[in-house]
Amino acid sequence: MGQGFLQIGLTLLLVLIVTPTFGKYIAKVFMGRTTLLDRVMNPLELLIYKLADVNPQENMRGKEYAYCVLQSNLFIGLLVYLFISFQKFLPWNPSNLGAPRWDLTLHTTISFLTNTGQQHYLGEKTLSHFSTMAGLTFLMFVSAGTGLAIGIAFIRGLTGKPLGNYYADLIKAITRILLPISIVGAILLLAQGVPQTLAASVAVETLEGRTQYIATGPVASFEIIKLLGTNGGGFFGANSAHPFENPNSFTNLVEIIAMISIPAAMIFVYGEFSHNIKQAWRLFWMIFLIFLALLWITAVGEFQGNPLVNSNLGFDQPNLEGKEVRFGWAQTALWAVVTTATMNGAVNGMHDSLMPAAGFSTLLSMFLHVIWGGIGTGIIYLLIYQYLTAFWAGLMIGRTPEFFGRKITRTSIVLASLVILIHPIAVLIPSAIALAYPISLSGISNPGFHGVSQVVYEYISASANNGSGFEGLIDGTFWWNLSTSASMLVGRYVFLFAVLLLADIMVHTKPVPEIPATLKTDTLLFTSLSAGVIFILSFLIFFPILVNGPLAEGLRLAAQ
């Protein structure tokens, strides 16, 4: 037990060391300050701006910024949909794979376009190398860059600065952050044994004298951006539990750090933009403590193991079912919480095999959406909760609420409330429909309380743009492909439009001078109030689901 918790502790220590510095670097990039990559990237970006006819100095309004995101995403999504649909006629298809069904192709395209990475297929048996690289890998860079750009635009608006230019922000996000780290990371993974090839599957003879085909491909380049960009989709069906995606403990550590680095660093990006590092640290520690609580619940549950199994064995052992033995219970527990907290979705063990305590933590992480949240979206949700906290606190003390020296208006509160409500609407309504038809629609493989968790997990994963799943669910059907696609689109683009409009309102709200009675947002009291608002607005909305899912499952298991 001690060794497992030591591994977790050392990993989190590295996170504490890396993320503040990384956050300062990201802030420098988007604040136009000098960075180490300027000499290389400035000429490249100028060329891209010229070819794309983009004026990086031109600031956009909220609607214009949102329109550019939607327009570019629609065009890119259509292009990738065609790539997959006609992959049989395109190069780098050594296995001569044909097109998937149209609904599966649509789901896959929307999934990677929305930074979700939810997969209803086996990657090594479905997509060609061309579709993987020119399609999904390309989408993972663009979707991660889009999320980061929107997060930066929202921070600018909230702090009274112009929103900026979407295309310039997207290009910087890719050229200054995602691409350089992905190149270094891919080389590092390649050195550890992760394949990077365009060759066909390798035929080997087994001990029984049979022929087995081992799939390979451009795995290293796919793996690093799926983790760094919080995409989560796997090159292989086993995802990061596959030895070609995650060969050893060192790559497991690198991939965990890659998952959490940008979402955690965005808190310090906000601190730099707002010139309030004190508040950034308070927010960081608030989220970190909640994260530790969820991690403790998960780790203890997995370490104690399944009481039914242990009673048959006659001795206690951790829950190893569904685990990759190279990583064991501790690294699987840590990964499960990190991947759901960051809205990544990659897995190094099967979440359907987790104990009820871990199921509780993973579901709650996606319900809250702020610990640490997705790339760009996590900081937005966190600041929305801060905004609502300022509104309620202002009302409680009997004065007009304000945030960052600007009055909180009725329209802005409506938009902030809409942002919070989008998530449960996109989860609870389709979940209710699927659970009403357990045979024809839901495809539950494990009836009872766990079956409820399976269904809700699929939709919460789609709406939160996470992508992981309780894989006992039979999810490759027409219903699941289209219904989860709808949840992904609502969770991504309705949210996007609302936050950009809110940011635009904040920019154009007249500032008011600070007075002694002005509510300070960098105090321990305000941070504690924010934690309370997060609990009330997110946890309690989804509490009935937790009661009827993992909590009921855990109580039933304990009673046997």
> pLDDT of 300-317, one tens digit each?
888 888 888 777 777 778
Binning pLDDT at 50, 70 and 90, where does residue 139 land?
very high
Binning pLDDT at 50, 70 and 90, where does residue 506 land?
confident
Q: What is the pLDDT of residues 432-469, one digit of tens each?
A: 888 887 766 667 777 788 888 888 889 999 999 888 88
Percent of the chain with pLDDT over 90: 47
pLDDT at 1: 57
pLDDT at 400: 59
Q: Is the separation of the CB atoms in 468 and 234 below 8 Å?
A: no
Q: What is the pLDDT of residues 528-557, one digit of tens each?
A: 888 888 888 877 788 888 888 888 888 888
Entry field: residues in the chain: 560
Spatial CB neighbours of 172, under 8 Å, sequence gap ≥ 6:
29, 30, 45
pLDDT at 439: 64
Inform me whether the pLDDT recorded for 118 exceeds 70.
yes
Closest residue by Cα to residue 388 from 550, 240, 532:
532
Q: Is the separation of the CB atoms in 334 and 4 below 8 Å?
A: no
Whether the upstream peptide bond of residue 372 has omega within 30° of 0, thus cis, is yes
Closest residue by Cα to residue 421 from 515, 267, 248, 537:
537
Contacts 24+ apart (CB under 8 A), 312-320: 319/353, 319/354, 319/355
What is the arithmetic mean of pLDDT over 480-497? Answer: 92
Average predicted confidence (pLDDT) for the chain? 88
Closest residue by Cα to residue 423 from 349, 339, 366:
366
Q: What is the pLDDT of residues 400-430, one digit of tens each?
A: 567 777 778 888 888 888 888 898 999 999 9
Lowest mean pLDDT among 273-287, 321-335, 369-383: 321-335
pLDDT at 326: 84
Instruction: Kindly state the DSSP code that residue 201 receives in the 8-state scheme.
Output: P
What is the arithmetic mean of pLDDT over 338-364? Answer: 89
Task: Determine the Cα–Cα distance for residues 394 and 217; give it in Å rounded to an integer.
Answer: 56
Spatial CB neighbours of 10, under 8 Å, sequence gap ≥ 6:
none
Count other Cβ atoms within 10 Å, centred on residue 407. Answer: 14
Lowest mean pLDDT among 18-32, 77-91, 198-212, 242-256: 198-212
Lowest mean pLDDT among 65-79, 102-116, 368-382: 368-382
Binning pLDDT at 50, 70 and 90, where does residue 514 land?
low
Inform me whether the pLDDT recorded for 261 exceeds 60.
yes
What is the arithmetic mean of pLDDT over 59-78? Answer: 94
Q: Is the separation of the CB atoms in 163 and 65 below 8 Å?
A: yes
pLDDT at 220: 94
Task: Determine the Cα–Cα distance for residues 282 and 288; give it in Å rounded to an integer.
Answer: 10
What's the alpha-carbon Rg for the chain, to the nearest Å?
A: 23
Which alpha helices (H) appear in 173-276, and where do they start and end?
Answer: 179-191, 219-228, 249-274
E strand or H helix that includes residue 414: helix 410-436
Count other Cβ atoms within 10 Å, centred on residue 540. Answer: 9
Instruction: Kindly state the DSSP code that residue 321 receives in the 8-state scheme.
Output: T
pLDDT at 530: 87
Secondary structure (DSSP) of 440-493: III--SS-SHHHHHHHHHHHHHHHTT-----TTS---SHHHHHHHHHHHHIIII
Binning pLDDT at 50, 70 and 90, where does residue 352 land?
confident
Q: What letter represents residue 254's amino acid?
A: V
pLDDT at 539: 76
pLDDT at 23: 94
Which alpha helices (H) appear in 305-409, and where do they start and end?
Answer: 307-313, 328-341, 356-368, 377-396
- Buried b / exposed e along 485-520 (16+ C-beta atoms within 10 A): bbbbbbbbbbbbbbbbbbbbbbbebeeeeeeeeebe
Q: What is the pLDDT of residues 334-348, one digit of tens each?
A: 999 999 999 998 998
Count other Cβ atoms within 10 Å, centred on residue 34. Answer: 7
CA 145 to chain centre: 13
Cα 127–Cα 457–Cα 336 angle in degrees, nearest 5: 80
Binning pLDDT at 50, 70 and 90, where does residue 516 land?
low
If one compares 234 and 78, the residue with the highest pLDDT of the two is 78
